[in-house]
Amino acid sequence: MLENADTADGSAADFWSLAKTLWTLLSGQNYPLPGEYHPDPAYSLRSWTVYPWVDALDLLIRRCTRLAPDKRPSMAHFAEELRNCMAEPPEIASDADAEVLRKRLASLTDPTRQTLRAAQEERQRLEELATDLAAFDLEVQTLIDGMLGGNLQQWENAHPSHVNSFQERSAWSLMRHMLYQSPGDPSRVWVWWLMNARIPNGGADRTGREEMTLDIDLRVIHRHDGLEHASYVLHESFSAPLGSATFARILESAKALVAGSEKDLLTEVTRIAALPDDHVPEWFPSTASE
């Protein structure tokens, strides 16, 4: 500017001077900083004022004091930045008609939302029920294994032949089973444990609470030449409203019933295991036909 005063564009110098003046006014200092402005912590406007747009003004002053004049903003941009910093934030008007429409939308979607909430609560309730029953089943399996002294091998993936008698139509069901089999090929004696919990269709009591039916089945299977015979069967069914104290009690009662069968179970398992290899049981068809 000093070297080419006759031909230089003075507007760039105006930006420089205006930015320096702005910094002096906002910082409360008597003189502006020399040279190009760098908003370091010691000289930033934030050190002198709590004005909410102080960071934007620091940036504006820095751009206006760049050493290269062509890198400085225009006066229009400078004015626009100041107006935006000084302007009040726009008010968000409350539209009464919009509120009416929101209430209308809420009333239209409320039945569906209630249905979805009820379905979610039902899924959660059944998941909790399944967790409780799985814990009960594991306790009983451990109990049976202890009753057998760990002498029979467990097979979780085996499918009991009598399982179809428990598969009734129901709104919800959970079946779990475990096979304990004696060593040897073929295995002579099996012990089956089966638990089937179900909520029948329309299974509500007089108070409207859903009832759950729990079937437990513990049996000793004598196997001979490819055929099976249930020589001991412990079967019991329990029913109770879900979430009731009675429901919690039937799990305890079922477990106690299994524990009480220990002597009869062991007697039958031991009897079959002690039979000689050439023994033909009385229930076998060839024996029955003679």
Predicted pLDDT of residue 205: 46
Predicted pLDDT of residue 169: 65
Distance, in Å, from the CA atom of 191 to the CA atom of 147, rounded to the nearest integer, reads 11
pLDDT digits (tens, 9 = 90+) for 209-268: 678 899 999 999 999 988 999 999 999 999 988 878 888 899 999 999 999 999 999 999
* Topology (CATH level 3) of domain 122-276: Porin (2.40.160)
Residue 8 pLDDT level (bands cut at 50, 70, 90): low
Predicted pLDDT of residue 272: 95
**Who contacts 21 (Cβ-Cβ below 8 Å, separation ≥6)?**
32
Helical pair 54-64 and 10-27, crossing angle rounded to 10 deg: 150
The predicted model scores a pTM of 0.59
Three-state DSSP class for residue 137? helix
Distance, in Å, from the CA atom of 239 to the CA atom of 197, rounded to the nearest integer, reads 10
Percent of the chain with pLDDT over 70: 84
Which tokens go with 116? 């979805």
Least Cα distance to 194 among 223, 253, 234 occurs for: 234
Predicted pLDDT of residue 14: 77
Distance, in Å, from the CA atom of 4 to the CA atom of 214, rounded to the nearest integer, reads 101
Average of per-residue pLDDT across 67-96: 78
Predicted pLDDT of residue 101: 85
Predicted pLDDT of residue 161: 67
Whether the ω angle into residue 69 lies within 30 degrees of 0, i.e. cis, is no
Residue 202 pLDDT level (bands cut at 50, 70, 90): low
Q: Where in the chain is the domain with CATH 2.40.160?
A: 122-276
pLDDT of 63 over the 50 cut: yes
Q: What are the distances in angstroms from CA 19 to CA 62, 64, 66, 208?
A: 8, 6, 11, 79
pLDDT of 100 over the 70 cut: yes
Least Cα distance to 254 among 236, 232, 266 occurs for: 236
Please list the helix, strand and coil fractions of the chain in percent, rounded to the nearest 5, in that order: 45, 20, 35
Residue 7 pLDDT level (bands cut at 50, 70, 90): low
pLDDT digits (tens, 9 = 90+) for 148-198: 999 999 987 776 666 666 666 677 889 999 999 999 888 999 999 999 998
